[in-house]
Amino acid sequence: MPSSPAAARPEDWDRALQTASPAEVIAAALEVAGREQLALVSSFGTESAALLKVMADVDPAIPVLFLDTGWMFDETLAYRDELIRTLGLRDVRTVRPASASLAAHDPDADRWSSDPDTCCRIRKVEPLAQALAPFCAWINGRKRFQGGSRAAIPVVEQEDGRLKFNPFANVTSDDIQLIYASADLPPHPLVASGFASVGCMPCTSRTLPGEDPRAGRWRGRGKTECGIHKPAG
């Protein structure tokens, strides 16, 4: 670990945590930021319970930010509530888009169809940026095995002047399944229906056998990210 956590550079933390376990990465984030300045951002999607379980084992009172875009599946909202109870999460905060922004840019609630990038911006990117303003560091669940722009993510990086911890950067799909099995975590309700990755309802479809797990997100649009995560580097 860097000898002076508060003064350490992101690359120092990244180098120190290259082979750390997810729990060790979260503990380091807690050390450098403190609970009041650290947030975990979760979609409460198909793999979210694994990261939330690891976090809860370190400190279940770390604030968790959940983006309710207005287009979430009812199953995702129910899953959020189930995981709060199951894992004993003490500070889950639901973040919603500003009503004024929706009125100005998506008055008919159809922007997802004509301009999904703008829809993501007003329903995800801008609300999250505002919600993260009080924090100096945050945790997310991206994994290198997801490929694309995620294939090269570091364990620790800096984004918009804020430390960003990626404790699952090095995990494998088998590691995720092991966490679920060992902790007897409930699956997302839509997994059994063929949804390997779940986001907003209009832009999420089932995945076919052999497809990339994220193939059902923005299918046919050439879009792979909502915009809350900037490309590595």
Q: What is the CATH number of the domain that holds 22?
A: 3.40.50.620
3-state SS, residue 80:
helix
Three-state DSSP state, 17: coil
Number of domains forming the structure of the chain: 1
Q: Name the strands in the sheet holding 156-159, side by side, starting at the edge strand that comes first in the sequence.
A: 92-95, 64-67, 38-41, 137-139, 162-165, 156-159
- At 91, list the tokens: 């500070």
pLDDT digits (tens, 9 = 90+) for 157-183: 998 889 999 999 999 999 999 999 999
In terms of residue numbers, what domain contains 39?
5-203
Task: Give a yes or no: residue 140 inside a domain.
Answer: yes
Q: 3-class DSSP state for residue 95?
A: strand
Q: Is residue 212 part of a domain?
A: no
Does residue 219 belong to any structural domain of this protein? Answer: no
Q: What's the pLDDT score for residue 83?
A: 98
Instruction: Indicate whether 211 belongs to any domain.
Output: no
Has residue 49 been placed in a domain?
yes
**Ranges under pLDDT 70 in the chain:** 1-8, 147, 149, 227-228, 230-233
Active site residues: 226
